[in-house]
Structure 1
């Protein structure tokens, strides 16, 4: 069942105390196109990077909902820090589903920082004792501070056949291009990673096709109550950063409001204008709705995990649809607040403009794109084939 005890409480309290500092570091992070080391150290000290690590390796093994609560709190201070933390933590949860020898190596340190490239743009060629990895993966968020890179690739067999595979490789084995120049989430350092003739031991490669027909009792199991289903976990956890960005934007807007008038009008206090009151309430309501929708998803997935059951097709489709819609609500809330902030909001030293750009860019991510996710959900609701394996 969900862990709502001292584990998450301690992490949440520690993260909450860092929020002001994360905000202060925002402009530096964006200018450097990577997180300040202080941000990473603060989150590491708070226990963020141990959240998904199994307890038997010294981790906290927090529930999906508890992890997401912490990630949302980080996003109140720094959207990019939250997104990088989400990548590292969600990847650690994925590793908890893999065979024991792989887990023992990756979790030799419980604060696992694992980035990943989830487009199959690499190849694994069998060789004695393992495989040789070659390929390039873009949008590799968090790679600059990761210990490991988890890359999707194809195993190419001598007979010409190939299988999907996942390779866990030390980040030091890659070269990272200085090519992350973005108008949103600039501080995530989502550079292109390249592997050239990198040897990967066999125990660090997972080939899903090899598990087909194997007795389920012989397959590795996630920690009890933590088997959420791969795609349901990934889609729903991404919502946390959106919710946190919206919360942070709401706070930043209110902080700037006292004493602000409305230019070229008789209004000397913007807060007294009915339109501003409507805007603040409309944004707050969207944030509350996004939080409620996310909470419904987390409770459903936790109930299934506690029962050792896989969510139904309709439930998995709903998670995709509701994740995207919750993200859309959060984005709309930030848009309302940004548009109500006056011309001075475009200054780079005003954090609200960065929160606005970051959530706009994040909403274009393939995992969370509203149109694509609504289509999948709608097809299932209408009794049609979802026509995607990402469920």
Structure 2
């Protein structure tokens, strides 16, 4: 459902779809926190929304009843719309090591730094969240290890299968819908203009639709869109069925999901490049839907959970019998 909704929104604006997708997935992450933390967020305002930044930037300093945190968390997409922030932190263990996890902070206790200026996904408002000695009660903590496995305090309290899915088995799919929607918009615009467009210059008047390179580009883009949808919906269905039936979502399944997510974005990026490369000057004109999709899709491909170079290396390690290094 998230994929379908975000794909529709992404046809109009990939940035809006991106924020919508993260809004959905961050509320799902909230379900992993202890019930008392969920009550803090939704008890007085059931419509409260949480946005944030996952990187464990800050070291949580122990104090009576919890921790204090300070730091600047970049790339907090949609943070202007949130009432709470979900922030990565490092917690000191008894042996002196640091354990990564999340904390929650209300909007009144942090500031937003207006530092998001990009050529793609420009309207996501992925600004930095800044905290200065913010107190975090102990119940507003969620360890990465718990949400990565799906065995969170929130899941143990609710017992609902949806909340026991490991984070990266499904979480990155919320970022894929915007890319699919942007590619669909580019395909629609390309077909609409190319059917009636003629060449200019030395061979003015020829129909663009008659060129083999143009025909091949639109065919590749359509195939990439259809196959990408099929792959991601297959993975989501199998993951949901496993969770509902109480079966373990195995390492093999989680790696396969991550492979699909990374490859789908690579495929979509190749498709938009095909359209862009045969669009000529029209395709580089600001406001052209192919040009806009090209910028947004390339921006999406840079996300750490979807970047093909990162994802493919991790999956290749697993297939070759090595310990996979990365998010799965």
Pair in the same fold by TM > 0.5? yes
| Counterparts in 2 of 1:327 and 1:253: CA distance versus 1, 3 Å | same
Give, in whole Å, the separation in 2 of the partners of 1:343 and 1:133: 50
* Residue segments in structure 1 that go unaligned for 5+ positions in a row: 1-65
Determine which of 279, 282, 286 is the counterpart of 1:341.
279
| Counterparts in 2 of 1:163 and 1:257: CA distance versus 1, 3 Å | same
Deviation at 1:225, TM superposition (A): 4.1
Give, in whole Å, the separation in 1 of the partners of 2:277 and 2:301: 18
Deviation at 1:316, TM superposition (A): 0.8
Determine which of 175, 178, 183 is the counterpart of 2:119.
183
The residue matched to 1:348 in structure 2 has which SS? coil
Mean Cα displacement is larger for which, 232-241 or 73-82? 232-241
Equivalent in the alignment of 2:27: 92
Deviation at 1:279, TM superposition (A): 1.7
Equivalent in the alignment of 1:313: 251
Q: Which has the larger share of strand?
A: 2
State how many pairs are aligned.
Answer: 324
Give, in whole Å, the separation in 2 of the partners of 1:358 and 1:157: 40
Give, in whole Å, the separation in 2 of the partners of 1:382 and 1:255: 46
Deviation at 1:152, TM superposition (A): 0.9
Determine which of 245, 255, 261 is the counterpart of 2:192.
255
| Counterparts in 2 of 1:107 and 1:252: CA distance versus 1, 3 Å | farther
Determine which of 254, 259, 267 is the counterpart of 1:329.
267
Instruction: State the TM-score, normalized to the length of structure 2.
Output: 0.90
Deviation at 1:286, TM superposition (A): 1.0
Give, in whole Å, the separation in 2 of the partners of 1:370 and 1:208: 23
| Counterparts in 2 of 1:130 and 1:225: CA distance versus 1, 3 Å | closer
Determine which of 88, 94, 98 is the counterpart of 1:152.
88
Give, in whole Å, the separation in 2 of the partners of 1:354 and 1:118: 27
| Counterparts in 2 of 1:258 and 1:185: CA distance versus 1, 3 Å | same
Deviation at 1:366, TM superposition (A): 0.9
| Counterparts in 2 of 1:217 and 1:205: CA distance versus 1, 3 Å | closer
Give, in whole Å, the separation in 1 of the partners of 2:146 and 2:196: 65
**Which digits, 9 at most, give the CA deviation of each residue in 1:111-153, with x for residues without a partner?**
4422121111112222233321211111111112222110010
Pair 1:272-2:210 in alignment: yes
Equivalent in the alignment of 1:206: 142
Instruction: State the TM-score, normalized to the length of structure 1.
Output: 0.76
Give, in whole Å, the separation in 2 of the partners of 1:133 and 1:289: 44
| Counterparts in 2 of 1:71 and 1:196: CA distance versus 1, 3 Å | same
**Which digits, 9 at most, give the CA deviation of each residue in 1:358-385, with x for residues without a partner?**
1112111111110111111112122221
| Counterparts in 2 of 1:329 and 1:267: CA distance versus 1, 3 Å | farther
Give, in whole Å, the separation in 2 of the partners of 1:377 and 1:165: 24
Q: Where do 1:160-175 residues align within 5 Å?
A: 160-175=96-111
Equivalent in the alignment of 1:18: none
Q: Is the Cα contact below 8 Å between 2:152 and 2:164 reproduced in 1?
A: no
Pair 1:79-2:10 in alignment: no
Give, in whole Å, the separation in 1 of the partners of 2:83 and 2:94: 32
Mean Cα displacement is larger for which, 218-227 or 343-352? 218-227
| Counterparts in 2 of 1:112 and 1:335: CA distance versus 1, 3 Å | farther
Deviation at 1:159, TM superposition (A): 8.1
Give, in whole Å, the separation in 2 of the partners of 1:71 and 1:170: 27
The residue matched to 2:130 in structure 1 has which SS? strand
